[in-house]
Structure 1
Amino acid sequence: MKLPNEQILVTGCAGFIGFHLSKYLLKENIEVIGVDNINDYYDINLKYSRLDILKKYNNFKFYKVSLEDEKDINNIFVDNNIKYVVNLAAQAGVRYSLKNPKAYIDSNIVGFLSILEACKNHDIKHLVYASSSSVYGGNKQVPFSTNHNVDHPVSLYAATKKANELMAHTYSHLYNLPTTGLRFFTVYGPWGRPDMALFLFTDAILKDKPINVFNYGKMVRDFTYVDDIVEGIVKLINHIPQKNKEWNDKSSECSKSFAPYKIYNIGNNCPIELEYFISVLEDKLGKSAIKKYLPMQPGDVPKTYADVSDLEKDISFKPKTDIEDGINEFVDWYRDYYKR
Structure 2
Amino acid sequence: MGEVLGGRYELVDPLGEGGAGVVWRAWDHREARYVAAKVMRQADAASLLRFVREQAVRVEHPHVLTPLGWAGEDERVLFTMPIVRGGSAATLVGDHGPLSPTWVAVLLDQLLLALERIHGEGLVHRDVKPANLLLDATGRDYPRMRLADFGIATTLDQPRLTHVSHVVGTVGYAAPETFSPGWDPDPRADLFAAGMTASELLLGERPDTVGDLAVALVRAEAPVQLSALLLDLSSRDPDDRPADAAAARAALHRTGLVGEGTTWDAGEVEVFDQVPPLPPGWDEEGPAGSAGAVVSDDRARENLAAPDAEEAGDVQSPARASGAWAGPALLVLGLALILLATLIAIL
TM-score, with structure 1 as normaliser: 0.25
Structure index of larger Rg = 2
- Give the number of the structure whose residues are more often helix, by fraction: 1
Structure scoring higher RCO (CA < 8 A, sep ≥ 6) equals 2
